[in-house]
Chains A and B, each alone.
Chain A
Amino acid sequence: MTQELHNEHAVVVEGLTKRFGNFVAVDSMSFNVKRGEIFGFLGPNGAGKSTTIRMLCGLLGPTEGSARVGGYDISTEPDRVKENIGYMSQRFSLYEDLTVEENIRFYGGIYGLEGAQFEERRQWAIEMAGLRGKETALTRTLSGGWKQRLALGCAVLHQPPIVFLDEPTGGVDPVSRRDFWDLIYNLSSEGTTVFVTTHYLDEAEHCNTIGLVYAGRLIALGSPTSLKSKLERYAIYEVVSENPVDAMDLLQKQPWVAETSIFGSAFHVSTDASTGSDAEIRRTLEQGNIGISRIQRISPSLEDVFIQLIAEESEK
């Protein structure tokens, strides 16, 4: 491993493996995260995301393989790793029965911030979270969006070069989510590397690079745009019909239809790109005497891509 690679990359993962008895939670994973980028780490529950994050945070040793985070080896220098990262998970990081101020003080203490340096970061966190005037409010009285911004402020109080955000936006409303992503972009423009997991694929669109994990393995890596171009085997059509329920029923029985699902007043049909087509959908529905008012091919969403990549992987 050359020095340049470490200068360019905040996280370097090589053959990282974790076994619990016979269970392989993380299976020889390799990837790099560039300095200052927003890296989205996605996958269904139980795919190995949390185990990987715990290893990268220096909390859990790997069975095999290695990783360097901020230039430090997670196996031999876990304490240095811990000093160089911030970690936030919406569920666990704040004390609900402490005030805003007390939470910030608590984290300041953990990170060993004192005097003028603490004061400056305290002001920064309150400003950033938009909590000016609410310093003495109990954390549990804050809305989800505020809690989330406070948790982020606490996680980066010590200005770590890398921050891990584990499902940071669960249950938060759209306006707050937008504000939150603005904050993440600000951190990233200031050079902080952001490693984020989320279940919401519209959020994954915000990431520069996405790694998709399934059954402990990394099954896709790339920008959102490049991943969407991977879905070549399937074509997705949006159909507007006067009788969507019967139309979906009829189409679902066709061998070239992979999936139908309701979408507002329309529905989506995924077809095998080589055997299905809009003409085929039209013909099938006409034969069933079901009228169509519109049919058009649409581009796949990241969710479509992921569902498909995971389905293909689980067939292997």
Chain B
Amino acid sequence: MDAVRLNAVTKVFREEGQPDLVAVDNLSLSIRRGEIFSLVGPDGAGKTTTIRMMCGVLFPTSGSVEILGLDQRSHHEAIKHKIGYLSQKFSLYGDLTVDENIDFFAEIHRMKDFRKRKEELLDFMRLTPFRDRLAERLSGGMKQKLALACTLIHTPEVIFLDEPTTGVDPVSRRDFWKILSNVLKSGISIVMATPYLDEAERSARVALLNKGQLLLVDTPEKIRSSFNHPVLEIIADHPREVLHILRNIPSIRSAQLFGDRLHVVAEEGAGIRDVLESELRSRGISARSIRRVAPSLEDVFISRIS
């Protein structure tokens, strides 16, 4: 049984006087139990709408959503207690303490004896020393962890996280990922939407959405290895001039500057190094190094979207 199954799901938003907006277009997808699954894609790709339909906050215009084998429409109530949802606009109660916020979410799920679970979660998130602090007085990273604790209090089997680390600093972000690894170890499936491809890289499988459609879904490794354009790193003096030259070579799909390095995606592999060297030499530039590097998820995605 899958954690989530989408069967030809379409969501159309209709507003009077406005053209219909097809936010999600005939999307079929299955997410396995116990995996971290990421939805990535540009703004307006349909990530948030998809997550909301999975959580049952929105219903599809056509198609169906199954959670843990149950149909979202006919088993809405039962599903509610098996899933957790951390939305982008998740709000804690600033004037309640850490403890009270967790109690509040436990009560929403009508939990009777949650004391042990709460202690575990506080410990897990390393929030025990701060349990009496008002939520509004926590740092951004701690708020994030408290929000996750509230999402996990009723021991859901699947959790949905919508851009959970936007605006979170690198140290808290790393901490958050460590916690997610532990959540996963406890057998919970994690589905998240993220605009950050380095985060998608940490997922077991990734789905790329664009304009409501599924472009590809696979493990990060397979997505990278199936990319059939060579990627090269060039180190040269005057990198900005080099960038300009590269962008005018027809067999270069894209060139991007990273400080003093250039990251190049070429059309074809055969002889590309010679082409680059001779183009640069003819303009009096000799590269200090040109080497083939592994494509990043970003290379693949940008190439598929544009």
A positions within 8 Å CB-CB of B: 38, 42-46, 143-145, 167, 170-176, 178, 181, 185, 189, 199-202, 205-208, 223-225, 245, 248-249, 259-266, 301, 303, 306-307, 310
Contacts and interface: CB of A to CB of B under 8 A. Distances in A.
B167 A261 contact: no
Interface of B: 36, 40-45, 139-141, 163, 166-174, 177-178, 180-181, 184-185, 195-198, 201-204, 219-221, 240, 243, 256-260, 298, 301-302, 305-306
A145 B139 contact: no
Given A43-B169, A259-B178, 19 more contacts: A38-B259, A44-B169, A45-B139, A45-B141, A46-B139, A173-B41, A173-B42, A174-B40, A174-B196, A174-B301, A199-B168, A202-B197, A205-B259, A206-B259, A208-B260, A261-B174, A262-B180, A262-B184, A303-B170
A205 B258 contact: yes
B140 A223 contact: no
Nearest to B36: A262
Nearest to A210: B259
A197 to B, nearest CB: 10
Given A173-B41, A249-B185, A261-B177, A185 B170 contact: no
Given A45-B141, A207-B259, A303-B174, A170 B181 contact: no
A206 B256 CA distance: 9
B170 A262 contact: no
Given A173-B195, A175-B302, A307 B258 contact: no
B213 to A, nearest CB: 16
Nearest to A46: B139
Nearest to B263: A205
A223 B259 contact: yes
A43 B243 CA distance: 30
Nearest to A259: B178
A208 B203 CA distance: 30
Contact of B185 (A45, A189, A208, A245): A245
22 contacts: A44-B172, A45-B139, A45-B140, A171-B166, A172-B195, A178-B298, A181-B256, A185-B243, A189-B240, A199-B168, A201-B170, A202-B196, A206-B258, A224-B259, A225-B259, A259-B178, A260-B181, A261-B174, A261-B202, A262-B180, A264-B202, A301-B198
Contacts of B45: 173
A56 B43 CA distance: 33
List the 3 shortest-distance A-B pairs measured between CB atoms, nearest first.
Answer: A173-B42, A44-B169, A264-B220
